[in-house]
Structure 1
Amino acid sequence: MTAADLLASDFATLPQLIAAHAAERGGKTAVADETRTLTYAQLDARMSRVAAALQRDGIGTGTPIAVVAAPSVDYAAVSLGTLRAGCVATPLSPSATPGAIAAMIADSAAPLVFLDAVNATTLADEPLTARAIRLDTPAFEEWLAPEGARPSEPDIHPEDAFNIIYSSGTTGTPKGIVQSHAMRWQHLSRNAAAGFADAVTMIATPLYSNTTLVSFLPTLGWGGTVVLMGKFDARRYLELAQAHRATHTMLVPVQYQRIMALPDFDGFDLSSFRFKTSTSAPFSAALKADVVARWPGLLVEYYGMTEGGASCGLNATAHPDKLHTVGQPMPGHEIRLIDEDGNEVPPGEMGEVVGRSPAMMNGYHGREGATRDAEWYDAEGRRYIRHGDVGRFDKDGFLILMDRKKDLIISGGFNIYPSDLEAVLRQHPAVADAAVIGVPSEAWGETPVGIVVLREEVPLDAVLAWTNDRLGRTQRLAALHATDELPRSAIGKVLKRELRDALAEGTL
């Protein structure tokens, strides 16, 4: 079938689409990093060598294959080749602690993990449950099946697992979010109007992030070109975007903030841009307005979650009076707001966000209880996913987010779970009790701050340094405060709003 036929069908896999693009436009650049490029023909061939090697090694369909590395063309080929073999792509965060990475590998039961030089060094002292293969050494080329190898084509069903995306964690129990081929097909098929077929999409966020994949995968599915950036730098981003004549991008709000703050931003030629998107963190109305005013092309903010549920979209260019919202539910997506008892709230009132759509996770890997906790069912028995946020709809049906029900901190586009940081703080011998809250940050959007009850007099700077040494780079506390007692409710729950108020008033 042609790529057009596949895209017009009810379901197709991403490897099938890439094979079709290779046959029809094999010489077109599919993916580029800052040192290499792969055409569609080259990407297709490399994917097949990966898939054939997995099958040669007896790795069956449905088996997770892990990657811990910076973005590169080989990272892309391994993840996509994993899918061609019928295995499950399992990209892991290099910014997690070595122990957390090892725990995620073990939890996934991946028999193989692909590493780059930096992460091989980071994990050198960790006992890994998977065989490690270095992407940047001859060992990778030696592992690949010979050139021209063609794997047997697995029978992939829509409900089969496509990938596992792990939440951050330092407690040793991170949650793996299982997303199906059907869910990813929805991400591809719903983008018919986004112009990805001739896109040049700038990717400046990590390949283990769902934020990245919702642009990376549709670009390749529709036959566009992906440009991968390593470590983000605002000026370098603009240089690459200008050089590649980029048309599409996905950036988190803090990246927009850093780019727009460059004194010479207006000196770059960004006239090729048609479609800019953002997600993963609060995006201020003022910053949206600045992007709309000075950066060509549409700006669309998406609100959703890795687990699926429902997504909202805000065309900020078309709705300058709605920049304080996250937009309206996308076609085929339904959001309801419920109270603490699970009942729907009246129109205009605030409630917990629950959503359903054709794009929802299968569940948490190996965690049926956590999956049930994330679900809500309406009176007709239809399944919704709890978003963990509190919001309300305005009179025009635009969603206004009010607070995060689960106290999730989003810093620089990364999810930080306070309970993980609190668990590390409590391991310090001088700490009797601890809480972590998110506070506004110009640099990161939000940043985590710790509040501790001490058993004995010790320098807070020493406790802060001890804690940050045990956290991932994106998790580290910006500050630490001491108090005599944490405010708690009658059932013992820490009242974090009171801590935020006290911090803002300077009484901590």
Structure 2
Amino acid sequence: MDDDFRTLASLIRTHAQARPQQPALVQGDERLSYAALDALMDRIAAALQRDGVQPGDTVAVCAGTSTRYAALFLAALRAGAVVAPLAPSSTAASLAAMLADAQPRALFVDAAAGALIAPSDVPRIALDDDAAFERWLAPVGSSFAEPPLPPDAPFNIIYSSGTTGVPKGIVQSHGMRWSHVQRGRQYGYTPQGVTLLATPLYSNTTLVVFFPTLASGGCVVLMPKFDAAGYLALAERHRATHTMLVPVQYQRLMALPGFERHDLRAFVHKFCTSAPFNAALKADVLARWPGGLVEFYGMTEGGGTCILAAHEHPDKLHTVGRPADGHDIRLIDDDGRELPPGATGEVVGHSPGMMLGYHRQPQKTREAEWFDAAGRRFIRTGDVGRFDADGFLVLLDRKKDLVISGGFNIYPSDLEAVLREHPAVADAAVVGVPSTEWGETPVAFVVLRADAVPGTDAEGLRQWLNARVGKTQRLAGVTLIDELPRSAIGKVLKRELRERHAGR
């Protein structure tokens, strides 16, 4: 774990030799030691090369979380392949588009995901069929070539969540993943650590914690389907020290009756990323859940990352923290000009961990890049923000979600924060919709609390909000909804809300 670059597969081998019986992966009653994981990785890598998978070829996997999925991901890396983890929650059309883009040499599926994918010439291996998978595996002791992999070799292709349209394949390198491992050293990952994960393995949200845990020789406990009570039971049972959760999961956990009865004292650090994490929820986690709370702000594409150690800066919970060490975060205007301190603009970032580009989409890659006067490459985030006097980044909203009404900029996150102050509101999302009078106007979709006062209605909420905001910020309408549409990692799908409003 020194500063010299190592591949993740080689670190697994090192831990297997040093502590063969140390648990690496746990799911339910299944435990896979480092020795067993290392041996399984060898058999999978040998089978992939036997089937013609060469270094640099893509291996796709579309399945629910399992120890076998995890082993496959790691083994494909050992064989020199590039892994494309696909979301089984995607539509059949979206999966077809991702597969056409990835052009995998092999496809691993479970029964549920396999039913969505049309037959093709790509060899398909069932992850959830024990007998079939065992037949496919290479025999124990089979030889294979473990290729040397430089830091700039492609590691995986992560497809964007599709919250803004057709997913793009984000190509990350081994060096980028190594930077995540190096960053993880400051968060107390050790061979005695236990990381509880209840987000999917196809998500970068999960992988930024999954890989550093294994690189340090710790144990990963996998929870394929999240539920608040089950999560807390697992955390107690395994004495979890680390976890990654998205804001909606924190929200459900903190709202669970009897949360305080659970013994969570083993936690060293809890992490959050992927979606806006409101200050009140951060404060609640800090007050009632032992251990540090760290928020990462960044993109799967890489570029700059900001980190908020909330337990160290309880007065900065409205921010996403300061730029990480070695990360350069700047703000630019609509014309790509760098802005001075104190200004509001689009966030761009440069760091040691940046995507190689969008797979097979050079034009999209160019659109995501910004270069400073010295020619240094930055990644555009599409987020609008400003730095406070102490250098903490305050996010205002997604640039694409900005509502321009009568020439005034309206940030939906401002209105959402006010709506959540209403005692009857559990969650809210604000989007801009076309207006003949103003060009655009904001409307809100609101989820009521289960204990909301009977008679709470949409018009009453609209009037309540409008009495508390500026004239240009007033809502044109409120729609009550049972649940906000979200991606598998908790991002609100505002595109679907706009479509729903247009459909009405």
Residue equivalent to 1:146? 139
Q: 1:151 to 1:9 in 2, by over 3 A?
A: farther
Residue equivalent to 2:458? none
Where does 1:47-446 land on structure 2 (aligned, <5 Å)? Answer: 47-123=41-117, 126-128=118-120, 130-137=122-129, 138-169=131-162, 173-197=166-190, 198-407=192-401, 439=445
CA distance in structure 2 between the aligned counterparts of 1:441 and 1:330, rounded to whole angstroms: 35
Describe the SS at the equivalent of 1:223: coil
Describe the SS at the equivalent of 1:380: coil
CA distance in structure 1 between the aligned counterparts of 2:312 and 2:282, rounded to whole angstroms: 12
Deviations 1:153-193 (A, max 9, x none): 10211101000000234999531000000000000012212
How far did 1:239 drift? 0.4
Describe the SS at the equivalent of 2:145: coil
Q: 1:153 to 1:243 in 2, by over 3 A?
A: same
CA distance in structure 1 between the aligned counterparts of 2:2 and 2:441, rounded to whole angstroms: 51
Scaled by the length of structure 2, what TM-score is found? 0.81
Counterpart residue type for residue 314 of structure 1: L
CA distance in structure 2 between the aligned counterparts of 1:257 and 1:128, rounded to whole angstroms: 42
Q: 1:170 to 1:188 in 2, by over 3 A?
A: closer
Gaps of 5+ in 1: 1-6, 411-415, 423-433, 444-463, 484-507
Q: 1:41 to 1:370 in 2, by over 3 A?
A: same
Q: 1:178 to 1:436 in 2, by over 3 A?
A: farther
Deviations 1:432-479 (A, max 9, x none): xx9999856579xxxxxxxxxxxxxxxxxxxx9xxx9xx999869468
CA distance in structure 2 between the aligned counterparts of 1:295 and 1:217, rounded to whole angstroms: 24
CA distance in structure 2 between the aligned counterparts of 1:170 and 1:403, rounded to whole angstroms: 15
Counterpart residue type for residue 144 of structure 2: P
Contact 1:276-1:300 at 8 Å conserved across structures: yes
CA distance in structure 2 between the aligned counterparts of 1:104 and 1:225, rounded to whole angstroms: 31
Identity of aligned residues (%): 57
Counterpart residue type for residue 87 of structure 2: S
Describe the SS at the equivalent of 1:269: coil
Gaps of 5+ in 2: 403-411, 414-428, 434-439, 450-480
CA distance in structure 1 between the aligned counterparts of 2:205 and 2:502, rounded to whole angstroms: 35
Scaled by the length of structure 1, what TM-score is found? 0.80
CA distance in structure 1 between the aligned counterparts of 2:77 and 2:443, rounded to whole angstroms: 38
CA distance in structure 1 between the aligned counterparts of 2:109 and 2:281, rounded to whole angstroms: 37
Deviations 1:11-44 (A, max 9, x none): 1100000000000011000011124111000011
Counterpart residue type for residue 159 of structure 2: Y
CA distance in structure 1 between the aligned counterparts of 2:300 and 2:341, rounded to whole angstroms: 27
CA distance in structure 2 between the aligned counterparts of 1:159 and 1:286, rounded to whole angstroms: 41
How far did 1:9 drift? 3.9
Counterpart residue type for residue 323 of structure 1: L
CA distance in structure 1 between the aligned counterparts of 2:90 and 2:489, rounded to whole angstroms: 4
Describe the SS at the equivalent of 1:118: helix
CA distance in structure 1 between the aligned counterparts of 2:489 and 2:308, rounded to whole angstroms: 32
Contact 2:12-2:214 at 8 Å conserved across structures: yes
How far did 1:341 drift? 1.2
Counterpart residue type for residue 135 of structure 1: L
Contact 2:199-2:489 at 8 Å conserved across structures: no
Matched residue count: 432
Deviations 1:401-458 (A, max 9, x none): 0110133999xxxxx9x9xxx9xxxxxxxxxxx9999856579xxxxxxxxxxxxxxx
Q: 1:28 to 1:127 in 2, by over 3 A?
A: same
Describe the SS at the equivalent of 1:406: helix
Contact 1:199-1:224 at 8 Å conserved across structures: yes
Deviations 1:120-169 (A, max 9, x none): 2333xx24452211011121111111112342110211101000000234
Residue equivalent to 1:8? 2
CA distance in structure 1 between the aligned counterparts of 2:143 and 2:234, rounded to whole angstroms: 35
Counterpart residue type for residue 94 of structure 1: P
